[in-house]
Amino acid sequence: MIRIDNLLAKIRDRLLLIGDDRQLTEAASLLSDDTKHMVVVCDAAGAMAGIITRTDIVRQIRHCQGCACTTACTAVMTRNVVSCEPKDWLHEVWSTMKERGLRSVPVVDAERKPIGLLFARDALEMLLSEVEYEEELLRDYVMCVGYR
């Protein structure tokens, strides 16, 4: 069984944060890279207040007037966010992601401060490696090789 904290080194690097007092154009700028698709919106205390995805930005653009969009991040962000904590089991988080069709999930600490962003790809890779290791152990056991 794998816990989320085993992945923290990998998932910390891709976390994008923006303050809840910032404009949507700033969030769009953070998401301009093809590998980025979610920004975590934080309140003044640094706790997660919501998320903004590329889809949220595209959906809002049609409502903007003129060449500038002064919409606040809080007007567009998703407030009811599925998240996980480092102590959570990866297979449970993956089940939730699969059920809800989520590509990524913010990882937050006990104070709801964001510490990483777990991609579905990360979860699948770790779960697959766990199954492959168990398969090796079982094969060795059946072949009377013993445990490693």
In DSSP notation, the chain reads --BGGGGHHHHSTT--EEETTSBHHHHHHHTTSTT--EEEEE-TTS-EEEEEEHHHHHHHHTT--TT----BHHHHSB-S---B-TTSBHHHHHHHHHHHT-SEEEEE-TT--EEEEEEHHHHHHHHHHHHHHHHHHHHHHHTT----
Q: What is the mean pLDDT of residues 35-40?
A: 90
**Which one has a higher pLDDT value, 4 or 146?**
4
Report pTM.
0.81
Q: In the chain, what are the domains?
A: 4-142 (3.10.580.10)
Tell me the pLDDT tens digit for each residue of 52-111.
999 998 888 877 766 667 888 999 999 999 999 999 999 999 999 999 999 999 999 999
pLDDT of residue 111: 95
pLDDT of residue 141: 66
